[in-house]
Amino acid sequence: MKHKIAVYSGSFDPIHFGHLDMIERASKVVDKLIVSIFHNPAKKCLFTVEERRMMLEELLKGKPNIIVDSFEGLLVNYLRKNGLRVVIRGLRAVTDLDYEFQIAAINRTLFPDIETLFLMPRQRYTYLSSSAVREVASFHGDLAKLVPPLVAERLKQKFPLKKQ
């Protein structure tokens, strides 16, 4: 019996409720979902890959069909190396469509067997991005509706209040 396995990749810097919504929904349409943290050494991230992995593993514990992994380099190489061919991508708004369409087309050019499935998050998360979360955190804004408490606490450690 062949299992449906998909990869949902991203930087997850930091993980937010939009990511968790996509993970939850994607995990219901496949037998196994690999949430893989993309490490781009050229990009300055707030959290290390290991910190992001630990947060994801903690937030996703108790979900037996979800695995957390990480990779560096091209997604298609990661897929080939692991014998995978299905990718889940999120579309928050029309502005994401052009970029995601280009990436899906490039991936298919490099690896013709790849299938990209697009999911839309719940409407309340369509505005949410990691960069917006980092900005709110940097100004010590309320993170309760953006990220789980675990992530909010880690963000507060990254952006401590300055003593006056």
Choice among 24-28, 138-142, 160-164 with the minimum mean pLDDT:
160-164
pLDDT score at 57: 98
In a domain, 40, yes or no: yes
The reply to whether 43 belongs to the active site is yes
**What are the DSSP E strand ranges found in the chain?**
5-10, 32-39, 66-72, 86-90, 115-119
Residue 80 lies in a domain: yes
What is the domain range of residue 48? 5-127
CATH code (residue 17):
3.40.50.620
Q: Is residue 12 classed exposed, middle or buried when 0-12, 13-18 and 19+ CB atoms within 10 A define those classes?
A: buried
Of these residues, 11, 27, 36, 130, which one is catalytic? 130
Q: Which of 43, 44, 162, 163 is an active site residue?
A: 43
Active site residue 39: no
Cis peptide before 14 (omega within 30 of 0): yes
What proportion of the chain, given as a percentage, has pLDDT over 90?
85
* Torsion sign (Cα): 71, 97, 17, 4: negative
Catalytic residue among 19, 52, 53, 134: 19
Q: Does residue 32 have an active-site annotation?
A: no
Residue among 53, 92, 134, 154 flagged as catalytic: 92
Quote the pTM value.
Answer: 0.93
Residue 153 included in any domain:
no
Higher pLDDT, 163 or 162: 162
Give the pLDDT score at 42. Answer: 84
Residue 57 lies inside a defined structural domain of this protein: yes
Respond yes or no: is residue 108 known to be catalytic: no
| Res. 1: pLDDT tops 60 | no
How many domains does the structure of the chain reveal? Answer: 1
